[in-house]
Amino acid sequence: MRLVILGPPGAGKGTQADSIIKRYDIPHISTGDIFRENIKNETELGKECKGFMDKGLLVPDDLVVSIVQDRLSKSDCQNGFLLDGFPRTVGQAVSLDAELDKMGIKLDKVINIEADKEILVERAIGRRVCPSCGATYHIKFNRPQEEGQCDLDGSKLIQREDDVEETVATRIQVYLDQTLPLINYYGAQGLLLNIDGTQSIDAIFDQIVQELER
Ligand code: AP5
Ligand code: MG
């Protein structure tokens, strides 16, 4: 399975990605997670990205593309991968196509999770994440067993810095301006799998699996 998961901020890409990668035993490549890890470790890349991410803007294409190229060349990607949050511009999609061409492989599907702005804002603002293992929760829709504490390792949950209302609004606008054109791009290639993201987490996953295995 060579997959891309596409959708606006807070649509549920990461949540579904966690289940999809387990089912198909493929690596989860989230450019957002890679950047956050670099910020945490105070690397050069992290320093370059932070300003863009804090404002809800996209990191420049050239930085992103080389990171993904490098990641796709690793041996664990040989039997497939799930790209989450990449590509995000037509330029990134064209670069990805060129890279896959060079590798002699093609994408199988692009999963597109859709939801309205009101839902996206509520999901992003209520999201809490584990700083140690990255597990994602929601204060209303996906609560941990103990409030504020990760089920998996007991760490104190935190809020992502870009999950404040104003930045979420910017991220949604950036998605509309720069990422939405990818729906036509992948639609024209016959790869798009549109999924109604307003359903429950489990219902969305069931639908994705059903469609992928059709
Ligand atoms: P990134 O980390 O990719 O963030 P995003 O695209 O804004 O998406 P999110 O991670 O916010 O949402 P999600 O769809 O994964 O939702 P989740 O499953 O967590 O990127 C962050 C930043 O990095 C960007 O702004 C940019 O600066 C930079 N960047 C990254 N990639 C880049 C690229 N390629 N090019 C340039 N810059 C890039 O769910 C959200 C919440 O809702 C959770 O609390 C969850 O529990 C809950 N939830 C999920 N599904 C449901 C459901 N069905 N019902 C109820 N609640 C649900
Ligand atoms: Mg995510």
Asked, for residue 126, whether it belongs to a domain, the answer is no
Are 156 and 181 contacting, i.e. CB atoms less than 8 angstroms apart? no
Among 103, 109, 124, smallest CA distance to 169 is for: 124
Averaged pLDDT, 39-55: 95
Atom of ligand 1 nearest to the CA of 16: 18
Residue 128 annotated to the active site: no
Question: Which tens digits make up the pLDDT trace of 113-165?
Answer: 999 999 999 999 999 999 999 999 999 999 999 999 999 999 999 999 999 99
Asked, for residue 185, whether it belongs to a domain, the answer is yes
Q: State the CATH number of the domain containing residue 182.
A: 3.40.50.300
Full domain range(s) for residue 106 = 2-116+178-212
pLDDT value for 8: 98
Asked, for residue 64, whether it belongs to a domain, the answer is yes
Asked, for residue 20, whether it belongs to a domain, the answer is yes
Residue 127 annotated to the active site: yes
Residue 2 annotated to the active site: no
Asked, for residue 121, whether it belongs to a domain, the answer is no
Asked, for residue 173, whether it belongs to a domain, the answer is no
User: What is the value of pTM for the model shown?
Assistant: 0.97
CA of 106 to the centre of ligand 2 (A): 23
Asked, for residue 16, whether it belongs to a domain, the answer is yes
Number of domains in the chain: 1
Residue 36 annotated to the active site: no
Residue nearest to atom 49 of ligand 1 (CA): 12
Q: Is the CB of 35 under 6 A from ligand 1?
A: yes
CA of 10 to the centre of ligand 2 (A): 7
pLDDT value for 14: 96
pLDDT value for 7: 98
Asked, for residue 169, whether it belongs to a domain, the answer is no
Question: Which tens digits make up the pLDDT trace of 154-198?
Answer: 999 999 999 999 999 999 999 999 999 999 999 999 999 999 999
Q: Is the CB of 64 under 6 A from ligand 1?
A: yes
pLDDT value for 155: 97
Residues around the ion ligand 2 (C-beta < 5 A) = 13-14
d(CA 183, CA 19): 23
pLDDT value for 89: 98
Averaged pLDDT, 85-93: 98
Amino acid at 96: L
CB atoms within 10 A of CB 27: 15
